[in-house]
């Protein structure tokens, strides 16, 4: 079977791009905003129902993965083993999780049936956005150092454009709850953009492992927060700590801040008073041991 061009959520800069099924499918070269309007509807009555649910490459950001595995009542490990593949994301060299298509002729999504998506309420964000795409470009002059915009993809097989329903992109995102997913995943996307700014430079393996742990295993990260010296190290308000205990979205946002500290030496998390001084003292003690009490020349 012809290997069709893959759809991806990529970090170049970062793009959420709808499924592309053939060379005649068109990404319309127009930058759109939240107020841009388009006509589209998707429902069980369209002739192409579920035609977009095969032969696609769906990267699962942390919140997408979390929602799916909880929906299925699975641990991260079991979900990844059964439904996912690990991919090194182009231009960031970071390991990410993608949904594994089935081995049938169409390479169907594991969750599609003739009646539609069996995980609909927890479907990945890219399925929510479709047929809209979103891109984030680094732009020092733009607010927050990045320029976010949307674009539309018209695919031959998709009859949703023949429907009369009209939306703004902001209405579509809200209706599909893509705004909820974006809110949680934004910090993760920022890490991809930041990593891409380092070019093809590889980071120490330990940093890739930290990124992968945060991206795939929220339970492990929660244990790390509450059972290591994490809370003795960082100054985190008590109210936030309590939220993180039970709220996965809050936990992920904290995880991204920690990752930025660990991967890029950025300081979204503030050290507790005395932590830096104690670390310096430890480092000095090591140096004294190495140099036998003499100053390093």
Contact set with ligand SF4 (CB under 6 A):
42, 46, 48-53, 109, 111-112, 117, 119, 123-124, 127, 130, 157-160
The closest of 193, 197, 217, 211 to 259, measured between CA atoms, is 211
Q: Is the dihedral of CA 284, 285, 286, 288 positive or negative?
A: positive
Q: How far is the CB of 119 from ligand SF4 (least distance, A)?
A: 6
Q: How far is the CB of 171 from ligand SF4 (least distance, A)?
A: 17
Nearer to ligand SF4, 49 or 230 (CB): 49
Q: Is the dihedral of CA 199, 258, 177, 116 positive or negative?
A: positive
Q: How far is the CB of 261 from ligand SF4 (least distance, A)?
A: 33
Q: How far is the CB of 176 from ligand SF4 (least distance, A)?
A: 11
Q: How far is the CB of 250 from ligand SF4 (least distance, A)?
A: 25
Q: 105-108 long-range CB contacts below 8 Å, 24 or more apart?
A: 105/1, 106/54, 106/55, 107/1, 107/54, 107/55, 108/53, 108/54
Tell me 54's DSSP state.
B
Nearer to ligand SF4, 151 or 256 (CB): 151
Q: How far is the CB of 5 from ligand SF4 (least distance, A)?
A: 16
Q: How far is the CB of 16 from ligand SF4 (least distance, A)?
A: 13
The reply to whether omega before 71 is within 30° of 0 (cis) is: no
Nearer to ligand SF4, 125 or 136 (CB): 125
Rounded to whole angstroms, the Cα distance separating 86 from 200 reads 19
Nearer to ligand SF4, 56 or 192 (CB): 56
Rounded to whole angstroms, the Cα distance separating 141 from 128 reads 30
Nearer to ligand SF4, 15 or 138 (CB): 15
Nearer to ligand SF4, 128 or 260 (CB): 128
Q: Alpha helix (H) ranges present in the chain?
A: 62-71, 76-83, 125-129, 169-175, 178-196, 205-216, 218-227, 230-233, 238-246, 248-264, 275-290
Binning the chain into helix, strand and coil, the percentages to the nearest 5 are 45, 20, 40
Nearer to ligand SF4, 113 or 228 (CB): 113
């Amino acid at each position: 079977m012809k290997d069709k061009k893959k759809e991806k959520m990529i970090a170049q800069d970062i793009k959420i791009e709808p499924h592309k099924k053939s060379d005649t499918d068109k990404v319309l070269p127009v930058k759109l905003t939240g107020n841009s309007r388009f006509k589209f509807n998707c429902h069980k009555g369209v002739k192409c129902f579920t035609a977009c649910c095969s032969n696609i490459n769906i990267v699962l950001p942390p919140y997408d993965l979390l929602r799916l595995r909880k929906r299925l009542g699975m641990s991260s490990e079991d979900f990844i083993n059964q439904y996912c593949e690990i991919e090194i994301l182009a231009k960031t060299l970071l390991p990410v999780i993608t949904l594994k298509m089935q081995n049938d002729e169409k390479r169907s999504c594991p969750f599609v049936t003739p009646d539609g998506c069996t995980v609909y309420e927890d479907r990945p964000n890219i399925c929510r956005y479709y047929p809209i795409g979103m891109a984030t470009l680094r732009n020092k002059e733009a607010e927050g150092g990045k320029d976010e915009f949307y674009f539309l993809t018209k695919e031959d097989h998709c009859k949703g454009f023949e429907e009369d329903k009209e939306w703004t992109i902001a209405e579509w995102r809200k209706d599909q709850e893509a705004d909820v997913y974006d809110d949680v995943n934004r910090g993760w996307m920022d890490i991809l953009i930041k990593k891409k700014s380092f070019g093809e430079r590889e980071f120490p393996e330990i940093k890739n492992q930290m990124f992968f742990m945060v991206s795939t295993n929220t339970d492990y990260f929660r244990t790390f927060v509450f059972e290591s010296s994490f809370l003795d190290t960082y100054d985190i308000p008590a109210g936030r700590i309590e939220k993180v205990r039970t709220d996965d979205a809050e936990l992920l946002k904290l995880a991204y801040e920690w990752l930025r500290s660990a991967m890029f030496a950025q300081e979204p998390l503030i050290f507790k008073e005395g932590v830096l001084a104690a670390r310096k003292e430890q480092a000095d003690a090591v140096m004294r041991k190495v140099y036998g009490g003499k100053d390093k020349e």
